[in-house]
Amino acid sequence: MSLFTAVEMAPRDPILGLNEQFNADTNPNKVNLGVGVYFDDNGKLPLLQCVQAAEKTMMEKPTARGYLPIDGIAAYDAAVKGLVFGADSEVVKSGRVATVQAIGGTGGLKIGADFLKKISPNATVLISDPSWENHRALFTNAGFSVDTYPYFDQSANGGLGGINFDGMLAKLKAAAAGTIVLLHACCHNPTGYDITPAQWDQVIAVVKERNLTAFLDMAYQGFGYGIAEDGAVIAKFVAAGLNIFVSTSFSKSFSLYGERVGALSVVGSTKEETDRVLSQLKIAIRTNYSNPPTHGGAIVAAVLGNPELRALWEKELGEMRVRIKAMRQKLVDGLKAAGVTKDMSFITTQIGMFSYSGLSKDQMVRLRTEFGVYGTDTGRMCVAALNSKNIDYVCQAIAKVI
Ligand code: PLP
């Protein structure tokens, strides 16, 4: 008998499965709106100019690849602190933020989850319903029991869909002290709906009152309203005097998906406490993968640390953000022109890379099989993959299945 006789086949990752199906599709008009990746107007994955410039400089003076410190490149960690909390903020200046370089946003979440398991072993984790599909699996794998708080309600806004904020708040209010609440800092994945600043204030009040632990997943900083604007929610939590966790991803904002560049930041109450937290984060890293890889972190540190390259990055990120917004408007206009009578203007009130379109599973399957337009069964479409060449076709296809 083999050691692996009883090993079950794990379910396929739904999005990667969709990708495989897309790649095998022979329809010349096929469009992949499944995976959460930004493509430019030519349908190409961009290699940002700021990244190319940083790499060119790095190539001119190649360096050996020794081990990095466990918490990564110091200049990188400092740059992340600046982006997420503001370099001149009291919390950074007083040494109350521990930031570690991580293997993508996913790595930041995992290091945070492992550390939390040590300090709050019996806590439940609450994630939004729905959420990024890896949140549940990642926290479950870290040993937590995972539950949800209401977030999206298809029946809201007369059936067009929207946030069930009352339901969300009620669930948080009923949560036991110490419950870990995973919140999307901006550009909610998969729905595209963010709560308002005033609603954030209410969430923060409940987190404080109920003594909950907020873990903010910031995978899309800069894709909503701007880098500082999207980061403002973090400052609100800090101002409330909360000990929070923030995971950062540069996969999308630097178009560095494969380099796996991210971070975890934890806010402590004093510098001394934060130093102890940092020492524990290093243990979590050390026992998972020892220390992070060099290249992606070096690129991001070089760009963020150089005023010219940073300005170029902000310009390029701004162009991505503006292009996505333009595609949202084109989608709404195109659907109307294609004969869709339902009011689809909610697509322009959504933010970030995704749209919950309100299409049913059957409609999404028809889009795929009849038209080669790939989104997830939940109706999620990546608007960042629409472009001036495929938008009309996508609108026509959607109009035919609605
Ligand atoms: N969190 C959310 C909400 C995401 O959408 C993603 C990626 O799609 C991640 C985290 C993971 O980011 P990374 O690819 O940097 O690990």
pLDDT single digits (tens) 18-58 = 999 999 999 999 999 999 999 999 999 999 999 999 999 99
Helix H or strand E encompassing 129:
strand 124-129
Ligand 1 site, residue 379, Cβ cutoff 6 A: no
- φ, ψ for residue 262, nearest 5 deg: -155, -170
Q: Using the predicted structure, report yes or no on whether residue 16 has a pLDDT greater than 90.
A: no
Identity of the amino acid at 324: I
Share of the chain above pLDDT 90, in %: 97
103, 106, 248, 257, best to mutate for ligand 1 pocket (most atoms within 8 Å of CB) = 106
- Averaged pLDDT score across all residues of the chain: 97
Ligand 1 site, residue 390, Cβ cutoff 6 A: no
- Between strands 245-249 and 213-218, the pairing is parallel
DSSP state of 247: E
pLDDT tens-digit map of 236-293? 999 999 999 999 999 999 999 999 999 999 999 999 999 999 999 999 999 999 999 9
- At residue 11, the pLDDT reads 86
Domain boundaries, the chain: 14-47+319-400, 67-305
The arithmetic mean of pLDDT across residues 70-89, rounded, is 97
Residue corresponding to tokens 């699996």: 137
Share of the chain above pLDDT 70, in %: 100
Q: What is the pLDDT confidence band of residue 223, given thresholds at 50, 70 and 90? A: very high
For 346, the 3-state DSSP assignment is helix
Tokens of 299: 């690129």
Q: Using the predicted structure, report yes or no on whether residue 17 has a pLDDT greater than 90.
A: no
How high is the ipTM of this complex? 0.99
Q: Which atom of ligand 1 is nearest to the CA of 251?
A: 15
217 catalytic residue (yes or no)? yes
Whether 189 and 221 have beta carbons less than 8 Å apart is answered as no
Helix H or strand E encompassing 286:
helix 271-288
Which CATH superfamily includes the segment(s) 14-47+319-400? Aspartate Aminotransferase, domain 1 (3.90.1150.10)
List the one residue out of 333, 374, 327 whose CA is nearest residue 350: 327
Cis peptide before 130 (omega within 30 of 0): yes
Cis peptide before 46 (omega within 30 of 0): no
132 catalytic residue (yes or no)? yes
pLDDT tens-digit map of 138-191? 999 999 999 999 999 999 999 999 999 999 999 999 999 999 999 999 999 999
- At residue 65, the pLDDT reads 94
List the one residue out of 319, 323, 321, 315 whose CA is nearest residue 387: 323
How many angstroms separate the alpha carbon of residue 222 from the centre of ligand 1? 14
How many angstroms separate the alpha carbon of residue 220 from the centre of ligand 1? 8
**What's the residue count for the chain?**
402
Q: Which atom of ligand 1 is nearest to the CA of 188?
A: 3
44 catalytic residue (yes or no)? no
List the one residue out of 272, 270, 271, 292 whose CA is nearest residue 106: 292
In the CATH scheme, what architecture does the domain 67-305 have?
3-Layer(aba) Sandwich (3.40)
Q: Whose CA is nearest to atom 6 of ligand 1?
A: 219
Q: Whose CA is nearest to atom 4 of ligand 1?
A: 219
For 158, the 3-state DSSP assignment is helix
How many angstroms separate the alpha carbon of residue 105 from the centre of ligand 1? 5
Cα distance between residue 235 and residue 115, in whole Å: 23
Q: Using the predicted structure, report yes or no on whether residue 225 has a pLDDT greater than 90.
A: yes
Q: Which atom of ligand 1 is nearest to the CA of 109?
A: 10
User: Hey, what long-range contacts does 82-90 have (CB within 8 A, 24 or more apart)?
Assistant: 82/304, 83/221, 83/227, 83/231, 83/248, 83/304, 84/218, 84/221, 84/231, 84/234, 84/246, 84/248, 84/265, 85/231, 85/234, 85/235, 85/238, 85/265, 85/267, 86/228, 86/231, 86/235, 89/235, 89/238
Integer-rounded Cα Rg, in Å, for the chain is: 21
How many angstroms separate the alpha carbon of residue 217 from the centre of ligand 1? 8
Identity of the amino acid at 54: A
How many angstroms separate the alpha carbon of residue 402 from the centre of ligand 1? 30
Ligand 1 site, residue 262, Cβ cutoff 6 A: yes
Identity of the amino acid at 203: V
Tokens of 82: 């600046």
Q: What is the pLDDT confidence band of residue 14, given thresholds at 50, 70 and 90? A: confident
How many angstroms separate the alpha carbon of residue 218 from the centre of ligand 1? 8
The arithmetic mean of pLDDT across residues 383-396, rounded, is 97
Cα distance between residue 295 and residue 293, in whole Å: 6
251, 252, 261, 300, best to mutate for ligand 1 pocket (most atoms within 8 Å of CB) = 251
Confirm whether 14-47+319-400 and 67-305 share one CATH topology: no
**Catalytic residue chosen out of the listed positions 110, 132, 171, 282:** 132
**Catalytic residue chosen out of the listed positions 252, 282, 313, 330:** 252
Ligand 1 site, residue 253, Cβ cutoff 6 A: no
80, 134, 186, best to mutate for ligand 1 pocket (most atoms within 8 Å of CB) = 134
The arithmetic mean of pLDDT across residues 217-246, rounded, is 97
Q: Which residues are paired to 137 by β-bridges?
A: none
Q: Which residues are paired to 162 by β-bridges?
A: 153
